[in-house]
């Protein structure tokens, strides 16, 4: 059951995005238990795709829609498990997500992963 839930969560998380400010790498947890990371890409006006990674592997997602600072994916499935919806809301470098799975809402929080640039000094 935990693997199934985690798989669904991974699928759902990738759908959370907001135009070009959402593009990039995000990392966090669902229900403070399931660690996930995702990479989001914008594929045209208001459309999202991405890759969700967790302890059980990776999954590609597509068909997400961006409206303002919110995202929504409807009627998704992952490994045969139905997900009613994936909703997300972005505030700065934080993304709050809600995943509808088997009649319940599972909430999580992701944070943008910022690239660290290391500069080399020349002698």
Q: What is the pLDDT of residues 60-78, one digit of tens each?
A: 777 888 888 888 877 666 6
Q: What is the pLDDT of residues 11-35, one digit of tens each?
A: 555 444 334 477 889 899 999 888 9
43/49 Cα distance (integer angstroms): 7
Q: Are 28 and 108 in contact (CB under 8 A)?
A: yes
Q: Are 87 and 72 in contact (CB under 8 A)?
A: yes
Q: What is the pLDDT of residues 78-95, one digit of tens each?
A: 667 777 787 889 998 999
Whether 119 is in a domain gets the answer: no
Whether 9 is in a domain gets the answer: yes
CATH of the domain at 32: 2.40.128.20
Domain of residue 75: give its range.
Answer: 2-112
Query: How many DSSP H helices and E strands does the chain contain?
Result: 2, 8
């Amino acid at each position: 059951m935990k693997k199934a839930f985690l798989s669904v969560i991974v699928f759902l998380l990738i759908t959370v995005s907001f135009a070009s400010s959402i593009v990039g790498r995000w990392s966090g947890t669902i229900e403070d238990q399931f660690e996930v990371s995702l990479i989001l890409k914008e594929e045209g006006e208001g459309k999202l795709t991405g890759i969700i990674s967790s302890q059980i592997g990776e999954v590609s997602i597509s068909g997400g829609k961006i409206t303002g600072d919110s995202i929504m994916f409807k009627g998704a499935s992952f490994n045969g498990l139905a997900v009613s919806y994936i909703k997300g809301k972005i505030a700065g470098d934080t993304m709050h997500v809600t995943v509808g799975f088997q009649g319940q809402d599972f909430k999580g929080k992701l944070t943008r992963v910022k690239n660290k640039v290391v500069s080399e000094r020349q002698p």
